């Protein structure tokens, strides 16, 4: 049986792989595991439960709430809010557990369950493993120890969560956004109300698209994975910038006044310089992944900012930030973590901070983003090969060495085995796009011949 928990909680097609029974069972298991490790010791436990607007979130939320209450946990149901809002409220309310129902940027039929521990932090792998093991154990018919009478959990709606979260976002901004016009694409997702409200309270003139969720249209031709609508809207409305979120709003990508995309690397570069100038970038260091564009690292080098690289995934970025006490990290995809103000990637906070930098400098976003030049990056997925031999193939190692010598200091080669599919990813960066494509093609051929 495959592992239920992936790198970002449990995901699957709702009512197929991700059923109400699974959601209820995992919630009960989580309550018991956290009780065993002492998280609930000496008090009646409380959980914050939120979701994105997917139709399936309605029955999955009911299952999660039933499981938690049946295990003796009081539940604060915050409704449709972003993932980072659930994390924030879990911490600010002193809750023992947070649960978010969302499949992020995935299509509408999917959904997912993500757990947060005290303080709004992602559960450790060891705790996820224990929750999964306990779930499987009781799936074989082992009875639960269930509370009765006054010991069962109570459930209430916590409508104040929306205002509390928006006030937090606006309150941590270094300056107001008066005079800016911003287009916001909410992906018909969890930020459809939150993000426009936060920008408006911060002083911006707001135009919204993708902000009419009906339970079925999340991520459908909108949001951070479909930027054409935002690009057109920014130009049409003469806006200073646009921001796009994904379904659960832990990501943010941007568009400048000319309709050009500003990706996660560029956003990270702009914020790193801003925080460095404000003496808020601890150790003058930013954390990124190995997939960040080489242009980002070169730009940060020119600015005197060190870049620490991790494996791909915002969880690895966060682990490195916590380990070293760093303030800023993120991914090219738009996951940006500002650890002083959030325990996870927060797309609304990222967009607000980017807009704040435009407002305080008086410089257009295009000029700020030009701190780095994106080098051409070519990615080829080579399928049906023995990905386990990537590190041991002498033929492949020689081909990589030859490619790196050819590219020199202005290019880069990265080979990665997929964690979920039988394929190897070949990524090549170079100052010239034709050279990047040629080198990537040659390396892909060697991967096929040597690992096929």
Looking at residue 338, what is its pLDDT? 98
**Pairing relation of β-strands 285-289 and 261-262?**
unpaired
Final residue before a domain boundary, out of 158, 190, 219: 158
In a domain, 5, yes or no: no
**Lowest-pLDDT range of 145-159, 187-201, 358-372, 421-435:** 421-435
DSSP, collapsed to helix, strand or coil, labels residue 21 as helix
396 and 280 part of one domain: no
Give Cβ neighbours of residue 156 (< 8 Å, ≥ 6 apart). Answer: 75, 76, 77
Give the C-alpha distances (Å, rounded to integers) separating 187 from 47, 243, 371: 27, 11, 28
- Domain span at residue 114 reads 10-158
Q: What percent of the chain has pLDDT over 90?
A: 81
In a domain, 1, yes or no: no
Give Cβ neighbours of residue 254 (< 8 Å, ≥ 6 apart). Answer: 241, 242, 243, 244, 261, 262, 266, 267, 351, 354, 365
317 pLDDT higher than 70: yes
Give the CATH number of the domain where residue 423 resides.
3.30.310.50
Span 172-196, average pLDDT? 98
168 and 295 part of one domain: yes
**Lowest-pLDDT range of 139-148, 227-236, 264-273:** 139-148
1 pLDDT higher than 60: no
Final residue before a domain boundary, out of 123, 158, 193: 158
In a domain, 3, yes or no: no
- Residue 119 pLDDT grade (very low, low, confident, very high; cuts 50, 70, 90): very high
For the whole model, what pTM was predicted?
0.91
Span 40-56, average pLDDT? 96
- Residue 386 pLDDT grade (very low, low, confident, very high; cuts 50, 70, 90): confident
- Residue 131 pLDDT grade (very low, low, confident, very high; cuts 50, 70, 90): very high
| Mean per-residue pLDDT of the chain | 94
248 and 340 part of one domain: yes
144 pLDDT higher than 70: yes
Q: In what order do the strands lie in the sheet with 306-310?
A: 306-310, 285-289, 328-330, 336-338
Q: What percent of the chain has pLDDT over 70?
A: 98
Q: What is the pLDDT of residues 94-109, one digit of tens each?
A: 999 999 999 999 999 9
Cα–Cα distance measured from residue 112 to residue 250, given in angstroms and rounded to the nearest whole number: 14
Give the CATH number of the domain where residue 42 resides.
3.40.120.10
Looking at residue 420, what is its pLDDT? 58
Instruction: Classify 60 in phi/psi space as left (phi over 0), alpha (psi -120 to 50) or beta.
Output: alpha
Looking at residue 419, what is its pLDDT? 62
Query: How many other C-beta atoms can be found within 10 angstroms of the C-beta atom of residue 197?
Result: 20
- Residue 421 pLDDT grade (very low, low, confident, very high; cuts 50, 70, 90): low
**Pairing relation of β-strands 110-116 and 10-13?**
antiparallel
* Residue list, annotated binding site for Mg(2+): 104, 246, 248, 250
CA dihedral 322, 327, 333, 334 (to 10 degrees): 130
Looking at residue 449, what is its pLDDT? 87
Looking at residue 51, what is its pLDDT? 98
What is the domain count for the chain?
Answer: 3
274 and 413 part of one domain: no
Q: Which two tokens stand for residue 215?
A: 């339970």
Contact 381, 411 (CB under 8 A): no
Final residue before a domain boundary, out of 109, 127, 158: 158
DSSP annotation string for 271-301: HHHHHHHTT-SGGGEEEEETTS-HHHHHHHH
Angle at 342 between CA 337 and CA 348, to 5 degrees: 75
Using alpha carbons, select from 215, 184, 29 the residue that is nearest to residue 111.
Answer: 215
DSSP, collapsed to helix, strand or coil, labels residue 345 as coil
176 and 245 part of one domain: yes
Distance of CA 388 to the CA centre of its chain: 28
**Pairing relation of β-strands 241-244 and 253-256?**
antiparallel
392 pLDDT higher than 60: yes
Using alpha carbons, select from 133, 4, 7, 113 the residue that is nearest to residue 68.
Answer: 113
Cα–Cα distance measured from residue 385 to residue 375, given in angstroms and rounded to the nearest whole number: 28
Going 342 to 34 to 24 to 149, the CA torsion angle's sign is negative
142 and 187 part of one domain: no
213 and 359 part of one domain: yes
Q: In what order do the strands lie in the sheet with 46-51?
A: 10-13, 110-116, 97-101, 46-51, 74-80, 155-157
105 and 196 part of one domain: no
Residue 192 annotated as catalytic? no
Buried b (16+ CB within 10 A) or exposed e, 302-340: ebebebbebebbbbbbbbbbeeeebbbbbbbbbbbbbbe
Who has greater pLDDT, 5 or 278?
278
Looking at residue 391, what is its pLDDT? 78
- Alpha-carbon Rg for the chain in angstroms: 23
Catalytic residue among 104, 224, 333, 393: 104
329 and 438 part of one domain: no
Cα–Cα distance measured from residue 373 to residue 316, given in angstroms and rounded to the nearest whole number: 25
* Residue list, annotated binding site: 104, 246, 248, 250
């Amino acid at each position: 049986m495959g592992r239920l928990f992936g790198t970002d909680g449990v995901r699957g097609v709702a009512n197929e792989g991700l059923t109400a029974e699974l959601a209820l069972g995992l919630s009960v298991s989580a309550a018991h595991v956290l009780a065993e490790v002492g998280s609930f010791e000496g008090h009646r436990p409380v959980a914050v439960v939120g979701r994105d607007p997917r139709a399936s979130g309605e029955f999955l939320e009911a299952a999660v709430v039933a499981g938690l209450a049946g295990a003796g946990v009081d539940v604060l149901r915050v409704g449709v809010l972003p993932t980072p809002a659930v994390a924030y409220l879990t911490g600010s309310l002193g809750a023992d557990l947070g649960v978010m129902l969302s499949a992020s940027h995935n299509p509408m039929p999917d959904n997912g369950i993500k757990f947060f521990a005290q303080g709004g932090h992602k559960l450790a792998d060891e705790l996820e493993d224990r929750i999964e093991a306990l779930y499987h154990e009781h799936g074989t018919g082992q009875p639960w120890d269930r509370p009765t009478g006054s010991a069962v959990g109570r459930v209430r709606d916590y409508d104040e969560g929306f205002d509390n979260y928006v006030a937090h976002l606006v309150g941590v901004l270094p300056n107001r956004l008066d005079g800016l016009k911003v287009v916001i694409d909410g992906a018909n997702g969890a930020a459809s109300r939150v993000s426009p409200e936060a920008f408006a309270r911060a002083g911006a003139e707001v135009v919204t698209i993708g902000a009419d969720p009906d339970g079925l249209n999340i991520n459908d031709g909108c949001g951070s994975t479909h930027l054409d609508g935002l690009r057109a809207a920014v130009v049409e409305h003469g806006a200073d910038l646009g921001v796009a979120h994904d379904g659960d709003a832990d990501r943010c990508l941007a568009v400048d006044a000319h309709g050009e995309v500003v990706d996660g690397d560029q956003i990270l570069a702009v914020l790193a310089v801003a925080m460095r100038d404000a003496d808020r970038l601890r150790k003058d260091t930013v954390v990124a992944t190995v997939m960040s564009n080489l242009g980002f690292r070169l730009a940060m080098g020119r600015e005197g900012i060190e870049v620490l690289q991790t494996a791909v995934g915002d969880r690895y970025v966060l682990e490195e930030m916590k380990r070293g006490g760093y303030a800023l990290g993120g991914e090219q995809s738009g996951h940006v973590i500002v650890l002083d103000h959030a325990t996870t990637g927060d797309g609304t906070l990222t967009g607000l901070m980017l807009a704040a930098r435009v407002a305080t400098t008086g410089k257009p976003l295009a000029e700020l983003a030009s701190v780095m030049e994106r080098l051409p990056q070519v990615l080829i997925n080579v399928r049906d090969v023995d990905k386990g031999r990537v590190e041991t193939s002498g033929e492949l190692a020689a081909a990589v060495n030859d490619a790196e010598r050819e590219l020199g200091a202005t290019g880069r080669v990265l080979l990665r085995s997929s964690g979920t599919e039988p394929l190897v990813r070949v990524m090549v960066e170079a100052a010239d796009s034709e050279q990047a494509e040629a080198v990537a093609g040659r390396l892909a051929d060697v991967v096929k011949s040597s690992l096929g």
